[in-house]
Structure 1
Amino acid sequence: MLNTRTEPHTAPLYEFYSRSVAFIAAAATIIFGQDYGLTSDAYHYVLVICAVYPFLTYFAGRAVPENFQPYRRPTLLLTDSLLTGCFIAYLHFAVIPSALFAILVNTSVITLGSFFLWAGSILTMTVGAYVGYIFFQQGIVLDVHPTIEIVAIVGTACHLAVTAFYSAKQNAQLAVLHTKLTLEQKRQQNLSHKVAKYISPQIWESIFSGSKEVKLETQRKKLVVFFSDIKGFTALSEQIESEALTELLNNYLTEMTNIALKYGGTIDKYIGDSIMVFFGDPKTQGAKKDTLACVAMAIEMRRHMKVLRQKWRAQGVQTPLEIRMGINTGYCTVGNFGTESRMDYTIIGKEVNMASRLESAAEAGEILLSHESYALVQDKIICREKGSIAVKGFSRPVPVFEVVDFRHNLGGKSSFIEHDLPGFSMYMDTNRINNYDREKIAKSLEQAAARIKSQARMKG
């Protein structure tokens, strides 16, 4: 007999008004029923119930703890249905008043959108009617005086009007709340995207999805660790202005980060021109596939440096910058380090140190692998033995391997063509050239070849 589409904190007051009007309508119907001989002498007790029940439910509803609020409305609705059944029996099952009171209950239950609650309401109302029939010992009178019917109709109309009024009022409040929540959600999304720029996307995703707890904890996992830096960067920093150097560095880090994310690497940190990436956490494909992904990333980074060098040369940077890289696979400790107020998600362990030492030992353009990494990718990657090197922190020399390229890129079907000579630099991946650009590139190369041959004949 009440509108239930309300929030828990304000629901008791709205429900009180709606329920009060419903039971006032029932009381008025009973009073006129007494005047026209429909109800018995017990109507005084029934009127007391009509007057007291809304107040009891109001105070009881406010006393319900917050965690039980979802059960409050269904319970009260079933109680309303039970009393409604009793009232219908008390009115001798008169057709119009009975139908109207049943409508009051159904309109309130339907707003909850639960079929099982609606079925339960019909059942409890039937039980109430049966109990009332036995208790009041009254027969069935289908036709009653029109005045009683009019009173029931007016009372029902008033209840529906009050219900509609508070529904509209509540809907307006909900609309305002929805707008505020939408704005807050957008604000939180913008804030989370800003925060995401300071941490690796994989870590950000795992935190905001709830799969990782933000607390000081670590675990041991088999990871693939990658280090890289630019050989010649220190010398370059002494030759150009800091603004130009900053732009160049940010461009380099952006390009390399995009490649790392493409292969699923977790960016650990940037240290000047150095990049630290690891594979295998928070998601892993297994040590073999993680290592292969890391090596593939390193190969693409090395190739992409040729493109960047051409771009920087056009901007006036004459120092030939080269990238050097080290990769190692092994068990590391990964997780949150720091304090409860300031944490850093990173990895530590001797395998991390090994990757860093390999990067330091690499020559310009080299990708050095530890034996563990080499063993996992040798079937896909051509590597060259570099012998053993003494590594700080390790008692014995460790064998290292230089990455040459993918095996499928070294045959006749290789898609890469690259030449880098004084006055000439070319890098081409034929698999990535669009069909509609192939003819243009071919004509440009033919024109360049014709000019070179013409100048060679003239000099000859």
Structure 2
Amino acid sequence: MPFERKNKFVLQSVYRGVSYIMLSFGVLLYYFPTPLQFQHYVVAIFSACVFIATLCIFFLAKHKFTRRQIKQIIFVLDLSVMAAVLSAVHLSFVFSSLTLASFWYFSTTFNKVSFVGYSLGFLCAVMTFYVNSFLFFGFENYFEDTSIYLTVYSFICFCACFGVTNYFNRKELQNLIATKDYYQEQMNRYIQFSNQLSRYAPLQLWQSIMRGDTQAKIDYKRKKMTVFFSDVIGFTQLAERLIPDDLAFVLNDYLSHMAEIAKRYEGTLDKFIGDGMLIFFGDPQSQGAEADAKRCVEMAITMRQQMHVLRERWLKMGFPELHIRMGISTGYCHVGNYGSDYRMSYTLIGHDVNLAARLQAAAHPDEILIADETYRLIKDEFVCVPKEPMQLKGLSEPIQTWQIIDKYTGIRSDLQQWFDYEYKGFHLLLNLDEAQHYEYQQLLDVLEQMKQRIQTQQDLTTEQGIARLDERDEVPDSDAKLKDFESDKVRI
């Protein structure tokens, strides 16, 4: 791009130099019928000086002035040359009119001049006009008719100026289109690269860096965070039984669904640790410690529900039954960039990070264990069951923990999209997000059949769980049998 700018300046300089020569020759043609004197060459000398000054300004002052300022200075010099020409030809009507039109067309095309530039240029032009008139050309014979040669020459110069300016316009337009395409291509490549690189960093961190809110430097801060750990039970043993391709399919299927859920609840996905996940809430985006904790717990419940769906699908595909366990803790942690200037990682450290990992390790299959601090923040919206204080590895004191059952539904129970109930011999998993509206009646028929089957089984069973007998199935007592035997004997 700098090479194109340099070529553009060279072309404009050549065009400006040719224009000065044409104006100077027009002045000489104006005085051609009379003997040429020294003052008739003033315009040519002045034009040459201005042209040299223009080149010097560009090469010497480009480091002190902006391109816009340089253009305005050159505009003032061009206007001064034109004023000297008009003074020399005593405002000859045809030549002056075409000169003004050519100058205006050229200046509006290539020079974006401010109001201050126009004002200064007009002032310098008036001063140049009167100085030249006073010193060299006099104040008589204004607007007089000129020779036919100068008139024809004026039209030829005007047409040449118009054609060259249009040529520059087309070249400028082509350069603008090429520049636009170039930067558009670079922007598309930049977006593609940034999208690819963003997959190796938490989404919230990448967005914060792109907005300029976060700098890629070694830095950290202390904030109250809610930390989530999860792990797949028995995945190590599963790795010994499955071939690598099947193992990779199960792992990617599980992690992709869990990562999508984390994105939905705006959790910062720190890293994958094998089949485990570390997610935290509170940085770089936070809605407050309480709201962060509630979103984290609700995310964990959704993950547990999604795991039911994945487990059923994996079983149908021939894979073993897999379960997850989750741990959540809330407290102050240090979060930020750790490592070196060459390679750094955005993560968090602190007591509650270790506590969440210990809770996850102590949880039972499909159980969500939370620390006491998290419970105090979410207890108003979630059903929690207290657990016996646990002595966790690496902690000196027993920790009070709570098990998350589900979220309080209240009057919104009829609007829940998930319904999950599991008991001995019975498991009902309803996901209305997956069911279509035309399938609702079929689901109701299935539930009605299930209800009738349970009622039939209840009618066939006593309160003690013993099957009921019909009258024909009952065995008569011994006295009745004896009376029947004696009656038969008498008849004989």
TM category (shorter chain) comes to 0.7 to 0.9
The alpha-carbon distance between structure 1 residues 69 and 238, as it changes in their structure 2 partners (threshold 3 A), is same
| Shift in Å, 1:290 | 1.3
Provide the C-alpha distance between the structure 2 equivalents of 1:372 and 1:419, rounded to a whole number of angstroms. Answer: 28
CA RMSD of superposed structures (Å) = 3.2
Tell me, which stretches of 5 or more residues in structure 2 are unaligned? Answer: 462-466, 468-492
Q: Using a 3 Å threshold, how does the CA distance of structure 1 residues 455 and 237 change in structure 2: closer, same or farther?
A: farther
| 1:86–1:131 Cα contact (<8 Å) kept | no
- Map 1:19-168 → 2, pairs under 5 A: 19-35=16-32, 42-63=39-60, 64-65=62-63, 68-111=66-109, 114=112, 117=113, 119-135=115-131, 136-137=133-134, 138-139=138-139, 141-145=142-146, 146-168=148-170
State the 1:310 CA deviation: 1.0
Confirm or deny: 8 A CA contact 1:292 1:377 kept in the other structure. yes
Counterpart position of 1:353: 354
Q: CA deviation at 1:362?
A: 1.5
Aligned-partner SS, 1:101: helix
| Cα distance in 1, alignment partners of residues 172 and 211 from structure 2 | 32
Matches within 5 A, 1:183-262: 183-262=185-264
User: Cα distance 1:133–1:171, how it changes in 2: closer, same or farther (>3 A)?
Assistant: closer
Give me the whole-angstrom Cα distance separating, in 2, the residues matched to 1:38 and 1:89.
Answer: 18
Given that 1:224 and 1:328 are in contact with CA atoms closer than 8 Å, whether structure 2 keeps it comes out as yes
Contact residue 220 and residue 334 of structure 1 kept, 8 A: yes
CA positional deviation for 1:259: 0.2
Q: 1:323 to 1:76 in 2, by over 3 A?
A: same
Aligned residues with identical type, % of pairs: 28
Q: Secondary structure at the match of 1:334?
A: strand
Secondary structure, in 3 states, of the residue corresponding to 1:35? coil
User: Which deviations, in whole Å up to 9, do the C-alpha atoms of 1:141-180 show, x marking residues without a partner?
Assistant: 1243143333233223222322332343344344444434
Q: What letter matches 1:441 in structure 2? A: L
Q: Which has the larger radius of gyration?
A: 2
Partner of 1:3: none
Which residue of the partner structure matches residue 477 of structure 2?
none
Amino acid at match of 1:58: L
Which of the residues 295, 298, 308 maps onto 1:296?
298
Indicate how the Cα distance of structure 1 residues 353 and 234 shifts in structure 2: closer, same or farther if over 3 A, else same: same
For the 8 Å contact 1:12–1:62, the answer to whether it is kept is no
Deviation at 1:200, TM superposition (A): 1.6
- Taking structure 2 as the reference length, what is the TM-score of the superposition? 0.82
Paired AA for residue 19 in structure 2: A
Which is further off, 13-22 or 416-425?
Answer: 416-425
Give the CA deviation at 1:37: 6.3
**1:396: which partner in 2?**
397
Do residues 426 (structure 1) and 421 (structure 2) align? no
After TM superposition, the structure 1 stretch with the greater mean CA deviation from structure 2, 288-297 or 159-168, is: 159-168
**What is residue 281 of structure 2 aligned with on the other side?**
279
**C-alpha distance 282-103 of structure 1, shift in aligned 2 (>3 A):** farther
Corresponding letter in the other structure for 2:7: T
Secondary structure in 2 matching 1:111: helix
Aligned residue in 1 for 2:183: 181
> In 2 relative to 1, CA 439–28 (structure 1 residues): closer, same or farther, beyond 3 Å?
farther
Which residue of 1 is the match for residue 339 of structure 2?
A: 338
Relative to structure 1, the CA distance from residue 171 to residue 347 in structure 2 (aligned partners, 3 Å threshold; closer, same or farther) is: same
1:257 CA drift (Å): 0.2
Q: Please tell me the residue identity of whatever aligns with 1:281.
A: D
Whose relative contact order is higher, 1 or 2, with alpha carbons under 8 Å and at least 6 apart? Answer: 1
Moved more, 38-47 or 101-110: 38-47
Mapped to 2, the partners of 1:166 and 1:451 lie a distance apart of: 89
Gapped regions of structure 1 (runs ≥ 5)? 1-5
Classify 1:84/1:176 alpha carbon distance in 2 versus 1 (closer, same or farther; 3 Å): same
Measure the CA separation in 2 of the matches of 1:66 and 1:447: 88
Task: Give the structure-1-normalised TM-score.
Answer: 0.87
**Is residue 226–residue 328 contact of structure 1 (8 Å, CA) maintained in 2?**
yes
Query: Structure 1 residues 169-178 or 124-133, which shifts more?
Result: 169-178
One-letter amino acid of the structure 1 residue matched with residue 124 of structure 2: G
2: CA distance between counterparts of 1:163 and 1:88? 22
Change (3 A) 1:411 1:139: closer
1:301 shift after superposition:
0.5
Question: For the Cα contact (< 8 Å) 1:94–1:143, is it kept in 2?
Answer: yes
Q: Which amino acid aligns with 1:97?
A: F
Paired amino acid for 2:139:
G
CA distance in 1, matches of 2:91, 2:22: 16
